[in-house]
Amino acid sequence: MKIAIVYSSKTGNTEELVYLIQELFIRKNVVVKLFRIEQFQMNELNNYEAIVIGTYTWGNGNIPHEMMGIFRAFETQDMKNIVTAVVGTGDSGYPNFCGAVDEFKSMLYYHTHLAVTLKIEVSPQKKDLSRCIRFVEIVLERILLYRAI
C-alpha cells in the first residue's frame, strides 16, 4: 500500500495532527510517506493509492496559498483512481471553522475517491484520538474497497 500525507502547517498544530495520523497508520503496519507541501512533487500524485491532505485554514476559511498547487493538480489531472482524505486544524471561534478542509472536501469529492475528512479544534487532544483512529481505518477500508473493484 502506498500512502502519502502532504501537509502545510503554520503554527505547528496541523503538523502535530499529521504526525499522529502517520503514527496511527504505522501501528496498522502501513508505510506512509510524509511530505511538507514544499517537498512534494505534483507529478507523483498518481504514484500513490491514497493521499491524505493536511491543511490549516487561513483568513476567512481560505486554503493557504502554498496548498493551492496541490488543490489545482487534483482539479486538473485525472485522479479518479486515487483515494483521498483531508485533515485540518482550526479555531471554531472563526465563522468558517476549518474552511480549507471544506474547500478540499468539495473538490476531492468530485475528482477522486474521497474517503473521509477530519476537523480538529486547534491541536489534537486525547479526546480526539478515537476520531483519528477511525479516520485511518476508513482510509484503509476505502483503499481495500477500490482494490477489489
Q: Tell me the pLDDT band of 1, cut-offs 50, 70 and 90.
A: confident
Once rounded to an integer, what is the mean pLDDT over residues 20-40? 97
Q: Nearest to residue 88, comparing CAs of 107, 102, 108, 78?
A: 102
How far apart are alpha carbons 94 and 12 in whole angstroms?
19
Residue 121: pLDDT band (50, 70, 90) is very high
Task: Give the residue among 119, 6, 11 at the shortest CA–CA distance from 61.
Answer: 119
CATH number of 65's domain: 3.40.50.360
Query: What pLDDT is recorded for position 137?
Result: 98
3-state secondary structure at position 52: strand
Q: Is the pLDDT of residue 76 over 90?
A: yes
Residue range of the domain that includes 38: 3-148
pLDDT at 148 over 80: no
> The cell 477522486 sits on which residue?
112
Q: How far is CA 95 from CA 66, 90, 107, in A?
A: 22, 11, 21
Residues above pLDDT 90, as percent of the chain: 87
Residue 149, pLDDT above cutoff 70:
no
User: Measured between alpha carbons, how far is 24 from 128 in angstroms, rounded to an integer?
Assistant: 13
Count the domains in the chain. Answer: 1
